Structure 1
């Protein structure tokens, strides 16, 4: 009698493990599906942002045109005071700050 109970118990545990594995496989499928949908959404959002044209005031003026209109004395002092590398350093600091905020999900 105990042999039959042991066989039924072994079969039940095997069946439970199969159901558990099927549930895990279904869960993995659903998470992959969610990741795929999010990827499609963000790809479409990126395409939408890229399709927005730049405003005219951004395309007609730039730092190169502003620096080319300055006199030689002003350009000399801009070079002595390292304004170009300073602007690059400010830009990289701002980019690092924004990246840090994105990586920590705007919590820091």
Structure 2
């Protein structure tokens, strides 16, 4: 049974969509793999995953953070700064980033 306090909690869903240059695909994929590994180990990140779209050059990264403040702290961390540098060198166009708050109760994964 979900308590009333659980219903009021939310997670911040961050969506990054990126289109990679064909020539830089290998470099991007290695950096993405390392970024996902680093972010998944962070305490305030509930879940992170990446999807490669059928065109083979487009990627979407989904990150669920415990809140906006936790995500903003993450933006100052070494893993994202390192990944940002790689994105500057490998993307065909600026990434598209969007955020939305989602009820924590929607996430059925066990957080413990």
Computing the radius of gyration from Cα coordinates, the structure with the larger value is 1
TM-score, length basis structure 2 = 0.22
TM-score, length basis structure 1 = 0.22
Kindly indicate whether structure 1 or structure 2 has the higher relative contact order, using CA contacts under 8 Å at least 6 residues apart. Answer: 2
